[in-house]
Structure 1
Amino acid sequence: MQNISVQATSASQRNKATPPNAKKVKLQFDYLPSQDGIDQNLLILLHGLGDSRSPFAKLGQQLKLPQTATISIQAPEPVPYLEGCYQWFPSFDMLTGDLLTPANPERMKGLLRTRQLMDEILQHLINDCGFNPSNIFFFGFSQGGTVALDTVCFGKVRNLGGVVSISGYLLEEQRVDRRLGDGYAGYVLITQGEKDTTIGSKAEAEKRFKAVEQQCAASAEVSQVFITNKDHTMPSSEREWRLIHTFFGKNMPRRNIELENMSDVYLVNP
């Protein structure tokens, strides 16, 4: 007969996650525990091309998501000739300075390198820090959104919680057929400026969105929202921030601390 261990428990026994160890991963990051002291969820923030992790670490604090620790990760490659600026994959022609096109194989090679680095840090966050994969969410802008979507769709960890991508899609050259039953089954919100000159026309944005949908399971909740009078920029309008907060509020799990602290609640371990 299996032995059963019953013991009284309290919320304080499992409030704090183990902070990630910079020596165990290659990517640089800034980690902050939840402001309310309960590390139930983790929000991974991924900056855009030419930025760095520090502004996004500050953004993570400003969002003030309950029961949510934050980690702002810095892209692995410096932008050539621009100090303090980083990229998730090669983006510029070194001779002309022009942006690389989907025909250049260096973009996809760089993204695959980044995917491996993201897999490494996710395994550390799950196995060593104690975060549940389904409680890990992403917020990414432009290239950072591309990396977030690539991670949940093609990375080794298949059951991550959700993604908010600001004007970021999968790379055009990675549009591949999804294997039946193997699509991402979580939550995705993509916000897109109606005047986004980087992405192009509304039709082009919708085409890229469909490519994301093709990598998701039928059970996934995937949406695209166009923002009036917005270019290829971070959110600035009340409407867009409300959409983002609503997404996290709806989809991030929450613990009932009041119930856990009741004297007649017990932890049962087989």
Structure 2
Amino acid sequence: MPTLPTPSHFASHPSLASSLLITPPPEPTPTPTPPRSVLILLHGLGDTNAPFHNLASQLSLPHAACISLRAPSPIPALMTGTDQTGFHWGDDLSLDSRTGALDFDAGFSTAARPLGDLLGVLLGECGFVARDVHFLGYGQGGMAALAVVEAWPGVEFGGVIAIGTGIAGSKSAMGEVRGYVSSLTIGEGKARTPVLVCGGSSGTVVTAGVLREVKERFGAVEYVMWERGGDGMPRSRGEMMVLMRFWGGRIRGPVPEGMEEVGGAA
């Protein structure tokens, strides 16, 4: 049975330890049990992990711990238009020539280390298997999440929910992440991890071309279009239920006492 991640598990990775917020699973009654699954939340470009930490508390996913990770690279407050420093997952800040907005696909070598170190601890010391590691990413965080699981196409992670994002131009955009996790076999072909892509009915980056590319590179893809414009996070109960239904089919409960799980280490 996996162990609930705590700050002490990341003591050997101080920069990582200072950039993550952990939410334990809701305590069941009558007997608390360790989490079976872990959900990694990756915020959008220019944001911090604080809002996703609040979201994790509201989700109350049974048997699942949540880790909200802050991106490694800061964006000056002047550029975010607020009095708060934001962060991004890319190697650089560049403008999309088509939209004039900051480009999500700005390389992910810098993000590979914190994400790789995080996976290394979760799959190692904490005892999770890849099948029980899930991702929720918004905007550039969603692109980063897709890139992480695509680094191991032969491995079935728990799943990726990617909201308001495209897919990196290169299949190996996060290839460096493999150097931090030695326990997984890379494999080949379409990525085995199931994906849910969500986006607005207008003013969205989730275009037909984006969906076509995602389906060409992932074996199991579901798409849900919000009944509103824009690519924001879920606002209504109906939109949140889209996420809950996906997790309901993927997040597993604890292994009954006295039984042992066979396989699934990848």
Give TM-score, length-normalised by structure 2: 0.76
Check 1:60–1:266 CA distance in 2 against 1; reply closer, same or farther (3 A cut).
closer
Consecutive unaligned residues in structure 2, runs of 5 or more: 79-83, 173-185, 262-266
**1:107 and 2:106 correspond:** yes
Q: 1:1-12 counterparts in 2 under 5 A?
A: none
Check 1:127–1:225 CA distance in 2 against 1; reply closer, same or farther (3 A cut).
same
What code does the residue aligned with 1:49 have?
L
Corresponding position of 1:66: 62
Corresponding position of 1:88: 89
Q: Distance in 2 between matches of 1:15 and 1:114?
A: 25
Larger radius of gyration: 1
Corresponding position of 1:238: 237
Higher deviation after alignment, 49-58 or 220-229: 220-229
Q: Distance in 2 between matches of 1:107 and 1:86?
A: 13
Tell whether the 8 Å contact from 1:24 to 1:124 is kept in structure 2 after alignment: no
SS in 2 for 1:30: strand
Corresponding position of 1:11: none
Tell whether the 8 Å contact from 1:47 to 1:74 is kept in structure 2 after alignment: yes
Aligned pair count reads 229
Cα RMSD of the aligned pairs, angstroms, is: 2.8
Q: 1:246-257 counterparts in 2 under 5 A?
A: 246-255=245-254, 257=256
* % identical aligned pairs: 26
Q: Point out 4+ residue stretches in structure 1 off by more than 6 angstroms.
A: none
Check 1:180–1:209 CA distance in 2 against 1; reply closer, same or farther (3 A cut).
farther
Tell whether the 8 Å contact from 2:35 to 2:63 is kept in structure 1 after alignment: yes
What code does the residue aligned with 2:41 have?
L
Consecutive unaligned residues in structure 1, runs of 5 or more: 1-13
Q: Distance in 2 between matches of 1:266 and 1:158?
A: 24
Tell whether the 8 Å contact from 1:184 to 1:215 is kept in structure 2 after alignment: yes
**1:159 and 2:156 correspond:** yes
**1:205 and 2:177 correspond:** no
Check 1:15–1:78 CA distance in 2 against 1; reply closer, same or farther (3 A cut).
closer
Q: Distance in 2 between matches of 1:207 and 1:213?
A: 10
Q: Distance in 2 between matches of 1:124 and 1:235?
A: 30
Q: 1:1-270 counterparts in 2 under 5 A?
A: 14=1, 16-20=3-7, 21-25=9-13, 26-27=15-16, 28-36=19-27, 37=32, 38-82=34-78, 83-89=84-90, 90-92=92-94, 99-100=101-102, 107-108=106-107, 111-154=108-151, 158-171=155-168, 173-174=169-170, 181-197=188-204, 199=205, 205-216=207-218, 220-255=219-254, 257=256, 260=257, 265=258
Tell whether the 8 Å contact from 1:195 to 1:228 is kept in structure 2 after alignment: no
Give TM-score, length-normalised by structure 1: 0.75
